[in-house]
Amino acid sequence: MKTFPFTKPQLEAVAERYPTPFYIYDESAIRLNAQSIKAAFSQVPAFVQHFAVKALPNPAILRILASEGFGADCSSLAELILAERAGIRGEQAMFTSNETPAAEYVAARKLGAIINLDDESHIDFLEEHAGIPEIVSCRYNPGPLKTGNSIIGTPLEAKYGFTHDQLIQGLVRLRDKGARRFAVHTMVASNELRLDYHIETARLLFTLAAEIKEKTGIRLEFVNLGGGIGIPYRPDQQAVDYEQLAAGIRNAYDTIIVPEGLDPLGIHTEWGRVITGPYGWLVARAIHHKNIFRRYIGLDACMADLMRPGLYGAYHHITIAGKEDAPQTEVYDLVGSLCENNDKFAIQRNLPVIERGDFVIIHDAGAHGRAMGFNYNGKLRCGELLLRQDGSVVQIRRPETVEDYFATLVDIG
C-alpha cells in the first residue's frame, strides 16, 4: 500500500500557499526509517551510514539525517559544501568521486572528509595536489566476481574503481607515502532489492580485508559497502528487511572477520535511495485532457522535474488525491510538456477518471527526483516542501524563476 501524508482537503490548503508542481518530503517518516536502520545495524561493529547527497541534495534534509547520526557521501565540490553547511564535518563525510578535478581533492582535504580514491593513478595525483592524508579509502571494482544489475551495469564494463591487484599494490604505495589508516569501498548495485546480493557484497569485502591483511600487513579500519539498496517502487514489491540484512552481514562478519582476528572492522554504507526515496512525492495537477490514438492527461510537471521514467522507463506509482479507492476504470498516458515523446510519467496506466484540476501524486520521488532535474526546453524546476514533525509545511527550496534561467547568460549585444 502506497501512502501519502495528506488528504485532498489538506493538500488543497498546501497548494494554495505553494502552487503545484512541488516535491514534498515527510520528516517524521525519514526519521523513523533512519532510526530503524540504526537499530538493525547496532548488531554490526562501528556502523556509519553516509547519506549519498546526490539523492536529495537539500541542507534541510541533510540536517535531519545528521541529527539522526548519519554522515554524508559527496561526489563533487558542491556536495561537499552542502554537507558542510548542514553541519556534517570531518570524517562524517566520505568523498567518493571519479575523474576528480584537483581543486575538489584540495577542498575535500580541507574539510577533513575521508577521500575514497577511484583509481591507482589518483594516488600520485592526490599527493601532488593535496598531499596524502592520514586516512584514505580505495574503491574496488570486483570485475568478474560480481554480476552487477541493470541500472549500474556489470563491473567489467563499469568505469569505477581499482582492480584487485591494483588495490593491493595501491594500499602499499599509500602506506609508503605516509597514510596510516585505510579503508576499502565498493559499489556494485543500484536499486537492488535482493537481500542476498547485498550480503554477498559484504562477504566479498570481508574476504578482501582478510587477504589484504595477509598479503600486506595492512589492517583496514572499515569497509564501505556503497549504496544501491532498492525500494519497492511497484506496489507488489517488498522492501529490504533491515534486520535480516544486518543479521546476514553480521553472520558473514562472524565467519570471515572474527576468525582472522580482524574484529573490530567498521562497516560503512552510503545509501541514498532507501533513506529518502519512499518519503518524498512529486505533486502535480492535471491541466489537460487529450484524446487521439491514446488518451493523455497533461500535467503541470514534466520530465525536467522528474526524469527517471523518461530516462530509465522507471515505474513510479501514481494516485489521484481523493480517488485513492475509486475504481481504476480508465487507461491513460500521463505526460509532461517537454517536446520529447518520452516525457511520460506513466504509460497505459490503469487509473480512476481524472478531471482537470485533480492532484496527481507521483510516489517514491524522494531520491534521485528533483536532484536529476534539468532546464531543457526552458523548463523551470519546481520547488521542495517539507512536512515537519509538528504537521506544519515549510518551503525548503523555492521554484526556479525565469530570472534564474537567464542568470548565467552573458549578453554580448
Ligand X SMILES: *Cc1c(COP(=O)(O)O)cnc(C)c1O
The contact set with ligand X (CB under 6 A) reads 52, 54-55, 73, 96, 187, 190-191, 226-229, 270-273, 367
* CA dist., res. 166 & res. 153, Å (int): 21
Determine how many CB atoms are found less than 10 A away from the CB of residue 128.
Answer: 10
128 vs 241, beta carbon nearer ligand X: 241
222 vs 271, beta carbon nearer ligand X: 271
In the complex, minimum distance from the CB of residue 88 to ligand X, in angstroms, rounded to a whole number: 15
In the complex, minimum distance from the CB of residue 273 to ligand X, in angstroms, rounded to a whole number: 4
57 vs 352, beta carbon nearer ligand X: 57
11 vs 306, beta carbon nearer ligand X: 306
Q: Name the nearest CA neighbour of 266 among 67, 97, 114, 105.
A: 114
Cis peptide before 142 (omega within 30 of 0): no
In the complex, minimum distance from the CB of residue 160 to ligand X, in angstroms, rounded to a whole number: 8
In the complex, minimum distance from the CB of residue 65 to ligand X, in angstroms, rounded to a whole number: 13
Residue nearest to ligand X as judged by C-beta position = 227
Determine how many CB atoms are found less than 10 A away from the CB of residue 23.
Answer: 28
In the complex, minimum distance from the CB of residue 361 to ligand X, in angstroms, rounded to a whole number: 22
In the complex, minimum distance from the CB of residue 308 to ligand X, in angstroms, rounded to a whole number: 12
Strands (E) located in 8-144: 22-26, 47-52, 71-74, 93-96, 114-117, 135-139
20 vs 269, beta carbon nearer ligand X: 269
* CA dist., res. 258 & res. 297, Å (int): 58
226 vs 310, beta carbon nearer ligand X: 226
* CA dist., res. 152 & res. 400, Å (int): 31
Instruction: Report the SS3 class of residue 376.
Output: helix
CA 228 to chain CA mean position, Å: 8
